[in-house]
């Protein structure tokens, strides 16, 4: 007998067919709660907990010898994690390093690769990008004595949701020295065509880098094949590395040997690092763009988390992500019709990242009502509810239940008892 697409039975059938469903047991899921915020902070896995405790045990047992002894010696940990992460970004193992944070790595990469010369002095970004990128770019321009008002070009969005690649390409003038763009827009979840944008930038002699915070671990990448110059990202969202997890960066091997703009001793060649010379012999890899000592206890959970990604496979993760997000969209359109919601996420698979953005004038109040009903969403000002069914631990039945809870909140006007303003942490 045919089961309606919009029933709980149908959702359960999808879960039974889900080849990734077993990975759900790897994560700590709070009882009587549905977590839909993995695009902001991924949940803790049992393997990440294990590898963190192993690193603590190494410290406990070995003290300073933990740098070269123990379960996970620390001295090469950043390089080893970069190699394990390389398949997620489509790069060679020595082109990726786990280090720093999103903003620190952006500062490093801009300080290294932004070379204003003659009339080619401007940086191209966009008006929808995450604020930290803009702050960093403004700061870097100031260090060159340049006014961000005139030297930071921000491509306009036509509708406040999406960016058009044609508009970005049109802005690639002979005044642009460097381009910094998101791989996925943090509000709408739109994926930019990184391959096309890189090709067009290079045709014009412009270096281009990408902020992968909202895509690494959710979609496959081919940075090496696309000839992207560099990229940087956080590891606490889709990669489940823990709050404030050490970030990652990619540098195309054609740039190896370029002196880091912000040099530090962990960018040294490993063989020379403890010679303590005052002349830097930089690593012949992405490791050259490390600045300081790695935060071992913040790297440690990634060891276990990346094991899961290796086993699940990024293509399988992307396949389920597309399917479960489409299921969410279909349910919203069917169940929440005429309730004031607008789906502010691209419909095409090739343009949609790992979350769905629901726009509503009462978004802040609805998010508060969702939390009180056991659903953990994400609010982005002024009017966006971000919902992220994560392939590794979200079930189709949970997605069905979230939409039913939303329907109840709207039908009963539960949101009216809350203030329509964000919390301190949204």
293 marked ligand binding residue? yes
265 marked ligand binding residue? yes
102 marked ligand binding residue? yes
DSSP-derived 3-state class of residue 195: helix
CATH code assigned to 50-311: 3.40.640.10
Distances (CA, A) of 70 to 74, 203, 293, 333, 413: 9, 49, 18, 53, 57
Q: How far apart are CA 205 and CA 190, in angstroms?
A: 26
Task: Describe the chain by its helix, strand, coil percentages, rounded to 5.
Answer: 45, 15, 40
Adjacent-strand bridge partners of 378: 386
Q: What does the radius of gyration of the chain's CA atoms come to, in whole angstroms?
A: 22
Q: How far apart are CA 143 and CA 151, in angstroms?
A: 12
pLDDT in tens, the chain (426 residues): 567 899 999 999 999 999 999 999 999 999 999 999 999 999 999 999 999 999 999 999 999 999 999 999 999 999 999 999 999 999 999 999 999 999 999 999 999 999 999 999 999 999 999 999 999 999 999 999 999 999 999 999 999 999 999 999 999 999 999 999 999 999 999 999 999 999 999 999 999 999 999 999 999 999 999 999 999 999 999 999 999 999 999 999 999 999 999 999 999 999 999 999 999 999 999 999 999 999 999 999 999 999 999 999 999 999 999 999 999 999 999 999 999 999 999 999 999 999 999 999 999 999 999 999 999 999 999 999 999 999 999 999 999 999 999 999 999 999 999 988 777 777
226 marked ligand binding residue? no
Pairing of β 230-233 and β 207-211? parallel
342 marked ligand binding residue? no
214 marked ligand binding residue? yes
Q: Which two tokens stand for residue 358?
A: 């629901």
- Look at domain 8-32+313-417 and name its CATH class: alpha beta
Dihedral sign of CA atoms 37, 378, 124, 246 in order: negative
236 marked ligand binding residue? yes
Longest pairwise C-alpha distance within the chain: 76
Distances (CA, A) of 188 to 84, 192, 370: 29, 11, 20
Q: What is the pTM of this model?
A: 0.96
Domain boundaries, the chain: 8-32+313-417, 50-311
């Amino acid at each position: 007998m045919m089961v309606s697409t919009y029933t709980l039975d149908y959702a359960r059938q999808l879960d039974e067919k889900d080849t990734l469903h077993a990975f759900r047991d790897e994560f700590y899921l709070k009882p009587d709660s549905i977590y839909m915020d993995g695009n902001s902070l991924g949940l803790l896995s049992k393997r990440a907990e294990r590898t963190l405790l192993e690193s603590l045990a190494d410290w406990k047992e070995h003290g300073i010898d933990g740098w070269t002894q123990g379960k996970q010696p620390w001295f090469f940990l950043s390089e080893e994690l970069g190699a394990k992460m390389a398949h997620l970004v489509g790069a060679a193992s020595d082109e990726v390093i786990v280090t720093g944070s999103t903003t620190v790595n952006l500062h490093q990469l801009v300080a290294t690769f932004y070379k204003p010369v003659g009339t080619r002095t401007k940086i191209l970004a966009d008006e929808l990008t995450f604020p930290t990128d803009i702050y960093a770019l403004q700061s870097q321009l100031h260090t060159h004595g340049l006014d961000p008002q005139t030297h930071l070009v921000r491509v306009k969005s036509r509708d406040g949701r999406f960016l058009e690649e044609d508009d970005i390409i049109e802005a690639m003038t002979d005044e642009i020295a460097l381009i910094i763009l998101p791989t996925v827009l943090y509000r709408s979840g739109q994926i930019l065509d990184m391959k096309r944008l890189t090709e067009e930038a290079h045709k014009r002699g412009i270096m281009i880098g990408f902020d992968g915070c909202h895509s690494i671990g959710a979609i496959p990448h081919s940075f090496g094949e696309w000839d992207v110059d560099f990229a940087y990202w956080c590891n606490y969202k889709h990669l489940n590395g823990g709050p404030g997890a050490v970030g990652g960066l990619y540098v195309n091997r054609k740039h190896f040997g370029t002196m880091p703009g912000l040099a530090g001793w962990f960018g040294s060649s490993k063989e020379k690092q403890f010679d303590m010379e005052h002349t830097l012999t930089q690593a012949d890899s992405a490791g050259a763009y490390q600045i300081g000592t790695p935060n071992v206890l913040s790297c440690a959970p990634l060891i276990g988390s990346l094991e899961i990604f290796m086993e699940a496979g990024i293509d399988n993760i992307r396949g389920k992500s597309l399917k479960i997000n489409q299921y969410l969209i279909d349910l919203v359109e069917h169940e929440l019709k005429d309730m004031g919601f607008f789906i502010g996420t691209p419909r095409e698979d090739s343009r949609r990242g790992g979350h769905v953005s629901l726009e509503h004038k009462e978004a802040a109040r609805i998010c508060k009502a969702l939390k009180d009903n056991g659903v953990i969403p994400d609010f982005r000002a002024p009017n966006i509810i971000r919902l992220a069914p994560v392939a590794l631990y979200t079930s189709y039945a949970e997605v069905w239940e979230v939409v039913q809870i939303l329907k109840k909140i709207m039908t009963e006007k539960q949101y009216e008892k809350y203030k329509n303003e964000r919390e301190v942490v949204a």
